Structure formats: C-alpha cells, structure tokens
Amino acid sequence: MFEDEQRSIEAFIQTYCAENDIPAPEDLQWKPIPFSGDWGISTSFFQVAAQEARLGKKVNVSIRAQEIAEGAAAHIGVPEGFSLVEAVRGYLNLYFSSSEFSRRVIDAVMKGGANFGRGEDKGERVMVEYAQPNTHHSFHIGHYRNAILGEALARLVEFDGFDTIRASYPGDIGLGVITVLWAYDKFYKGQEPDDLHERGQWLLKLYVEATNLLTPREDETPAEKAQREAYDAERREMYRKWDAGDPYLRQLWLETREWSLEELRDILRLIDINIDVWFFESEVDEPAKAIVEELIARGVADDERPRGGAVIVKIDQKLGLEKEQYRANVLLRNDGTTLYLTKDLALAKDKFEKYGVDRSVYVVDVRQSLHFQQAFKILELWGFEQARKCHHLGYGFVSLPEGAMSARRGQVALFKDVVDEAIRRVLAEIARKNPDLPQQARQDVAKQVGLGALAYAMLSVDNNRDIVFDIDKALSFEGHTGPYIQNAHVRACSILRKAGGIPGEATFNYKLTPHELGLIEMISRFPSVVQQAAREYRPLVMASYAFELATAFHSYYHVVPVLKAETEAMRAARLRLVAAARQTIANALHLLAIAAPEVM
C-alpha cells in the first residue's frame, strides 16, 4: 500500500550508503512491525555491517549495524505519510501515520469491492477433486464435510489467482455397489421410492440388509451357512457378469446409479457447488489396465502373474529406500482385475494430460493417506513431474453427539435431514426475533443462515481433526459460529441503511480509538490471509480469520458511535469503515461458501 514511499526510502538508504562509503545493501528486506496500535515496517543493517567486516574493516557487527541505522534514519527524516522513523538495535523502523494508513486501507477495500484481496494471476492450473461419494448410497454429513471443505479450497485458490477446475470422482463400481444390485434384483425388483432424497437412503437399507445376509454369524446353522454361501456365489457371479458387460446388469446399474447422482446434483445445487468435470471410477478401469502394461514395460511394475502372483510395484525398492515407507502394492490381481490404486493412476494421467493440470489436490478422508502417498510416488516413478505437486487434503471423521455413524448399521445423519432441521430452527428463531420480516425473505434468510451454520461448523475445525457435530451449537448466534459472523454483516448493513448511503471519501485525521484501529488492522490483513490459506491449502485459516474479523466488528459496533459521531468528518470516516468491514466480511464468507445475508 505504501510501495511508492517504500521505494523512495530505499533510494534514500542507497544514497546514504554511497555517500558514506558503506557497501550498498543488496536487497532490502522489509518486514511489517507486529501491530500494537501502530503500523510500520522495518529493515535491518546486519548484513551490510557484516559485509564491511568481510571487506576488512574492523567492526563489531551489531554496533556497526546500529550506527548505519542511525545514520540512515537521520538522512531520511520523517517522510510524508509517516509518523516516526527510528533506529533500534540495528533495525530501521518506520511507522506510518495511522490516519494515512487507515485511509489507504479503506480506500483499497472500497475500490476493490468483491475483488478486494484477490491475488495476481498465477499462470498455473489447479484441479481440486472433492464431492466424490460412492454411488448407491445416501449423502450423509461426512460427505458434506468433504464437499464444503473442497469448495472452500477451490474458492480460495481461485481467488488467489490460480486457474481452478473443480472435479468430482464418484466411486460407482466395486463389490459394495454390486451388493446393492444383488439385493435389489433378488428381493426388490421393480420398486423405487418416489422422493429424490429417499432413494439413496433406500439403497443403503438394501445394502445393510444384504450385508447382514452375507456376513457369517457365530451361531449359524449348517443350513444357514449353505444359504449364505449360495448368496455370496450369486453376488460374485453378478460382478463377473457386470464386468463382462451384461446388458441387463449394466442397465440396472446405470439406472440405480442415476438415483444417487440425481440426489448428489440436487445437494450440490443447494450448497452452491458447480463441478466442472465428472470422472467416474468405472470409466478409468480399462485405461488403468493399459497403464499397468506400460509400467511393466518400463520396469516400474513387476509381473508375477506367470508364477501365480499379481502385478506389483515395490515402491520402496524402486526408490532405493532402505526403510519400509511406501511398501509394495498390487496393481493387477492374478485374474487381471484392477484395484482402487490402479484406477487412481489412470485418473491422475487424465487430470494431467487432458486438463493440463499443474497442481492437483485431492480432498479425501484422512484414512486414505497411505493410499495417496503410494499413488503419488508411483506417478513419480512413472515420470510425471506434476506428481510432486499432487496434494492429499485429508479430513477427519464426523460423528454425532450420540456416537459414530455407521452405514452398515444404518445409523447415519443424512445431510438432507440435517439441513431441513437447521432451516426449520432458524425460521422459528426469526419468527421470534424479527417478526416483521416478510414470508419470502424469511425463507431465503433461513436457508442462508441454516446452511451457513452447517458450513462453518465443518470449516472451523482443523481438517485433520474429527468433528462431533452438534446442531445446537452450530446454530447459535453467539460464539464461534457461522450465524455470529453473518450477524456482523447484517449489523453493518443496518447501520449503512440508516445512514442513507456511504460517503464517497473520508479521511481519518483524528485520534482513532483502539476499536477502530483493531478493526482496520483486521481488514488490512485480509489479502495476506487469502494467500496463506491458499498456499497452505487450509480453509481453516480463512474460517478463523472471518471469526476474528466479525468479533472486531461487533466490538467496534458496540463501543464506537458511528451515526452519532462527534463531527461530520468522523461520521463519514466511520461509515466508510463500516462499509469496508461489511465488504471484507462478505468476501471472507464467500470464500467459505457461506452467504452474507442483509437481514436476519
């Protein structure tokens, strides 16, 4: 924000050094001085002093650094826009004038609007893969954590300047899917629930029933055992037929798969996620087989099939590692079928080659960590440069206060049920707190707040940690929640409405209160928070920031008079600060895929 001033100060330092026979500082590193009521930047002269010592001058480096800093400070004076220049223990500290700094921050926000904080074009393409549940299954809140984490990440890297592609990769085939088809075909043929959101749940019920029938029990009689084995044989035969392309099974598979996909698309629409590319596990199965042949030909994989074994990659051995780290992996079973890992190789190849991806992020359950380490290493051995830029963003388990979810036991919190409940509760809250709000607006706001509460409950916990999802806590308007942040936005909107508009410009030429300074400091940090969250692939960084920003706004709002400010000039400055806070809160919420309501 003070780039011009910074450059002219650098020029002052260079002339000072030249005139005094001091080696020219090669590249002056500026660091922000940690905020404690004043803003400033600082640089040090230890390197210059050390350089003099190397050149043969007899100096004590720290004493000499301080001497140079003092000389430079005297030479610079106090330039326009600054309030203080001082030399301290070898450092040159420059403090900005608070009123000037504040004006520039607020002007930058107002000028940038929804683009305030956006990073420069990075000229690189990132693919974020998420929202990829298995089909023939319902969508529960664990899947939701994945979807919202991936979406926030995609928004962050996109906003930071990466060309971003959103990809999904549903697991649409495997023994689990076949188990559902078997049960359907055997016991429920021709049936179909009407409601879009009941089908996944219904297929899950079939899966649970089938699993019970197919799992050995300790007390089973010989007749029961025979029955179970016969069922299992049917199921395996079904898988074989599916694999061979049996038209009836393929049709049944596609039809039931579509039930899950319809529900998935409906949910993604509800939570404002637009997937650009749909990959399916079933579609990379054949290409995966071809890749294995190539890996064998290149000596990356070993074909032990002729000796009754499988095709394997001894990752550690090929990397020349002594200690066991990535282990060995099967790529093709003896019968020629692929595995989950094999398909991931084909998927990665598509991502790199068809979509020109430079970086690839996989948002997947943390329990698949080893799987991804192995996949990325095999890609490296295969010769993909981009493999080094593949990143697995793992996330922990979501459980309920009453215990762990279990699809097998049919004990899950369906996302759709949780959303409906959240919206219902927010509607009741609005009816109490804001009875004058018209019906349609109530519905819209309830949806925004209900969904915002759920999103924030997921994003405000470090991705690696498990979540015990508690709907009561998530929906609270106080504390570390989505509605609390949304409420800061609502309050800012309400002040600006009452004021009847935002002044086009304002200066901060008065003694700023600590609450104003604190809020301006929070706003000024937004662009670097975007960078950090995107660079570290950590939406949590933005989630924590949004909460701190909202907190700074709430205290400002409670303590500092805006509409009733002492002077017209102060009123204008404070209104512009409210408008800038509103904009920054809206931008932060948007990056978390949370709506910013104007009333609630």
* Whole-angstrom distance, CA of residue 463 vs CA of residue 394: 7
The two tokens of residue 247 are: 């038209």
CB neighbour class for 391 (10 Å; exposed up to 12, middle 13-18, buried from 19): middle
**Separate counts of helices (H) and strands (E) for the chain:** 20, 14
**What CA–CA distance (Å, rounded) separates 176 from 137?**
10
How many CB atoms neighbour CB 198 within 10 A? 17
User: Binding to ligand ARG by residue 149, rule CB under 6 A?
Assistant: no
- How many Cβ atoms are within 10 Å of 544's Cβ, its own excluded? 17
Structure tokens at 375: 């996949």
Using the rule CB under 6 A, give the single segment among 319-327, 361-369, 488-496, 520-528 that binds ligand ARG: 361-369
- Least Å distance, CB 133 to ligand ARG, is 5
The DSSP output letter for 403 is B
Q: Toward ligand ARG, which CB reaches closer, 2 or 362?
A: 362
Of the ranges 289-297, 362-370, 420-428, 573-581, which one interacts with ligand ARG (CB under 6 A)? 362-370
Select 171 or 452, whichever has its Cβ closest to ligand ARG. Answer: 171
Q: Tell me if residue 568 falls in helix, strand or coil.
A: helix
How many residues bind ligand ARG, per CB under 6 A?
11
Of the candidate residues 364, 446, 458, 552, the single one contacting ligand ARG (CB under 6 A): 364
**Tokens standing for 101?**
């700094």
Q: Which H helix or E strand runs over 330? A: strand 328-332
The residues in 152-171 that bind ligand ARG, with binding defined as CB under 6 A, are: 169, 171
Q: Which is nearer to ligand ARG, 362 or 556 (CB)?
A: 362
Residue 362 Cβ vs ligand ARG, minimum distance, rounded to whole Å: 5
Among 100, 302, 344, 516, binds ligand ARG (CB under 6 A): 344
- CA neighbours closer than 13 Å in the CB half-sphere of residue 317: 9
| Under rule CB under 6 A, residue 326 binds ligand ARG | no
Site for ligand ARG contains 373 (CB under 6 A)? no
For residue 347, state whether it binds ligand ARG (rule: CB under 6 A): yes
Question: In the window 113-132, what residues touch ligand ARG (CB under 6 A)?
Answer: 129, 132
- For residue 525, which of 108, 100, 43 has the smallest C-alpha distance? 108
Distance of CA 563 to the CA centre of its chain: 38
CB of 279 to ligand ARG, least distance (A): 8
In whole angstroms, how close is the CB of 562 to ligand ARG at the nearest point? 49
Least Å distance, CB 243 to ligand ARG, is 19
C-beta of 8 vs 134, nearer to ligand ARG: 134
Complete edge-to-edge strand list for the sheet that includes strand 311-314: 302-303, 311-314, 328-332
Distance (Å, rounded) from C-alpha 186 to C-alpha 439?
Answer: 48
The CB-of-348 to ligand ARG minimum distance in angstroms stands at 8
Q: How many other C-beta atoms are found inside a 10 Å radius of the C-beta of residue 1?
A: 15
Site string for ligand ARG, 512-551 (x = CB under 6 A): ----------------------------------------
Least Å distance between CB 396 and ligand ARG?
A: 14
Q: How far is the CB of 355 from ligand ARG (least distance, A)?
A: 14
Q: Which is nearer to ligand ARG, 414 or 546 (CB)?
A: 414
From residue 589, alpha-carbon distances to 65, 469, 483 in Å are: 45, 21, 11
Q: Which is nearer to ligand ARG, 127 or 572 (CB)?
A: 127
Give buried/exposed letters for 126-160 (b at 16+ CB in 10 A, else e).
Answer: bbbbbbbbbbbbbbbbbbbbbbbbbbbbbbbbbbb
Asked if residues 534 and 157 have their Cβ atoms less than 8 Å apart, the reply is: yes
Which one-letter DSSP state was computed for residue 504? Answer: S
Specify the residue, 317 or 464, whose C-beta has the smaller distance to ligand ARG. 464
Restricting to residues 196-225, which ones interact with ligand ARG according to CB under 6 A? none
b/e burial code for range 331-354 (CB count within 10 A of at least 16 → b): bbeeeeebeebbbbbbbbbbbbee
Binder to ligand ARG among 25, 71, 90, 133 (CB under 6 A)? 133
Distance in Å, CB of 84 to ligand ARG, minimum: 54
Cα–Cα–Cα angle for 209, 210, 216, nearest 5°? 105
Closer Cβ to ligand ARG, 169 or 326, answer by number: 169
Which of 6, 47, 99, 134 binds ligand ARG (CB under 6 A)? It is 134
Kindly indicate which of the ranges 31-39, 238-246, 357-365, 435-443 contains the residues binding ligand ARG, using the contact rule CB under 6 A.
357-365
Question: Which C-beta is closer to ligand ARG: that of 275 or that of 575?
Answer: 275
Are 453 and 481 in contact by the 8 Å Cβ rule? The answer is yes
362 binds ligand ARG (CB under 6 A): yes
Terminal-residue alpha carbon distance, the chain = 35
Minimum CB separation of residue 135 from ligand ARG in Å reads 9
Q: Which residues bind ligand ARG (CB under 6 A)?
A: 129, 132-134, 169, 171, 344, 347, 362, 364-365
